[in-house]
Chain A
Amino acid sequence: MKIKVLKPILEANESIADEVKGILREKGIKLVNIIGSPGSGKTALLEKTLAHLFPAEVGIIEGDISTTYDAERVYSLGAEVVQINTQGACHLDANMIKEALQNLTLDNKKIIFIENVGNLVCPAEFRLGEDLRIIVLSLTEGEHKPLKYPYPLSFSSSQVLIVNKIDLLPHLKVDMEGIIAEAKKINPDLKVFPLSSLTGEGFSGWIEYIKNLFCIP
């Protein structure tokens, strides 16, 4: 006999993601999931972004396969940090976030950033209960990234694309507009912010966007 099932394969993850969303909504906290290749500048983006927010109101969940280096970088700037070591797993899942939340003081927070494991393919499949998903792509990663890999799910499921390391443009033979056009082809609604997490160039647009979106003065 044949039985219709029609259940999402990742339904267990989905329902925990909804739980996470519920916990944070009750506290009025927004959750941001940052996805990007290793070395694209996710931690650097967080460091520079923290300088424009009140670090005490920001929580950070650092997902790395191993070590606490990234957590230490943002902790030193005054944000409360929880490190998740995935011990080899290539992505964070909603259950890891639910557990991490138990180690964060939620009462004084307005926004929690998750730095996902450096990887552009796997993390995209796992909803973590985020309000905003951003993808960090750096100009040193080469051309045609959006269409080539292909990991279009990362682009189609995100709302923001950060094109990082624009300070390096003079040294590279890279077609930034072409990269942005490819990404927009996959997701026309993508908000794109070319910036440098080293020099801070281009940051005002990104900071204004996130403050407006989450009503942060």
Chain B
Amino acid sequence: MHELTLASNILNITRRVARENALSRVTRITVKVGVWSCVNEESLKFALSCIANEPWIKGVNLKVEKIGQGDTIQEMYIESIEGEKNEDKSIKAHS
């Protein structure tokens, strides 16, 4: 459906969290999507790879996990991000 919108939201949130945590590089993003969310995993990955081209996030590995229980069935959220911390480079890398 609107994977590019989702990808750009993921990128924005990741950038903010990376800044807050002084990460110089983000290597993996784990998102959880409800089984009814109609998110196509392949096109979400493709969309993110198209827009995540700044050095601090280029080549990031997106992991999409399906959730399907109780009230979370429609939710889509970023579960975690993984990356490298490097005090010197952190601010500059993704300013």
Contact = CB atoms under 8 A, between A and B. Distances in A.
Contact of B37 (A4, A11, A153): A153
B76 A151 contact: no
A53 B25 CA distance: 57
Interface in A1-18: 1-13
Given A10-B9, A125-B2, A157-B74, A5 B81 contact: yes
A132 interface: no
Contacts of A91: 2
Nearest to A152: B36
A90 interface: yes
B2 A90 contact: yes
Contacts of A7: 13, 17, 77-78
B17 A125 contact: no
Most buried by B among A2, A3, A6, A150: A3
A67 to B, nearest CB: 21
Size range of the chain A interface in the assembly: 20 to 34
A11 B12 CA distance: 11
Give the secondary structure class of A's interface. mixed
A1 B36 CA distance: 31
A7 B14 CA distance: 10
A1 B79 CA distance: 14
A207 interface: no
Interface of B: 1-2, 5-6, 9-10, 12-14, 17, 21, 23, 31, 36-38, 73-85
Interface of A: 1-13, 89-91, 93, 121-122, 124-125, 150-153, 156-157
